[in-house]
Structure 1
Amino acid sequence: MTIQADFWQLVGLLGAFVASLGAIGVLLLKQIQSGLDERFTQLAGRLDGIEQVNRDETIQWQRVEREFLKFQADLPMRYVMRDDYIRGQTTIEAKLDAIAMRVENSQLRAAYKPGGGS
């Protein structure tokens, strides 16, 4: 069995083969492109989410910063230094000691008075 083909028939077959390879290539490229488009869409969504989280975090840090600055402004009004506390406590104790001494002296005077005492 012999197969005979003319030159133009072979050129036609070769052209059809190249055209079918081209069509398959175009289909593959379209699938790759659609896959890439889908991935880029997903990445864009993720980036939008990250940007929103970043904005929220920035707002929270600004709130913390404001609260800290308020705290720093209120601190001198509310905080008593250790030295100031010791000084105030020493003054109170000195006054209490003076009162105790007067009470003790008056008790001693009352005890040594002639005719007075228990």
Structure 2
Amino acid sequence: MILTLDLWQAISLLATIVGAFWGIAKMMLNQGSKNLDEKFSQINKRLDGQEESDKRLERQVGDMRAELPREYVRRDDFIRAISNFDVRVDQLRLTIERALLERDKH
């Protein structure tokens, strides 16, 4: 079976095939572009949510830093406070002992 085409038929067939490939390629590129746009918009929404979460976390950390010196005592400060307390208790003990000794003398 031999297929004979005139020149204008061959050109028309070639133009139709090229046009079909061109249309399919353009359609695929448009779909790919839409998919990319959707994915980027989803990523942007996630990033916006993440930025808000990061800001909230930064505020919480800042609040904790502000509260930390008021709520917690450093080990050195605790030792100093306890040693001052011990000194006062010892002084009170000595005062009571002196008072008792003086009372016994009289």
Normalising by structure 1, report the TM-score.
0.73
Q: Which has the higher contact order (CA 8 A, sep 6+)?
A: 1
Partner of 1:109: none
Query: Segments of 4+ in structure 1 off by > 4 A?
Result: none
Matched, 1:32 2:28: no
CA deviation map 1:14-51 (0-9, x unaligned): 11100000000011011101110110010000100110
Provide the rounded CA distance (Å) in 2 between the counterparts of 1:2 and 1:98.
134
Q: Alignment partner of 2:100: what SS?
A: helix
Provide the rounded CA distance (Å) in 2 between the counterparts of 1:101 and 1:40.
88
How many residues in Structure 1 have an aligned counterpart in Structure 2? 101
> What residue identity is the alignment partner of 1:37?
D
Structure 2 unaligned residues grouped into runs of 5+: none
What percent identity do the matched residue pairs reach? 22
* TM-fit CA distance, 1:97: 1.1
Q: Alignment partner of 1:43: what SS?
A: helix
Q: Which has the larger radius of gyration?
A: 1
Partner of 1:65: 65
Normalising by structure 2, report the TM-score.
0.80
Partner of 2:46: 46
Q: Alignment partner of 1:81: what SS?
A: helix
Provide the rounded CA distance (Å) in 2 between the counterparts of 1:44 and 1:102.
84
Structure 1 unaligned residues grouped into runs of 5+: 107-118
Provide the rounded CA distance (Å) in 2 between the counterparts of 1:4 and 1:36.
46
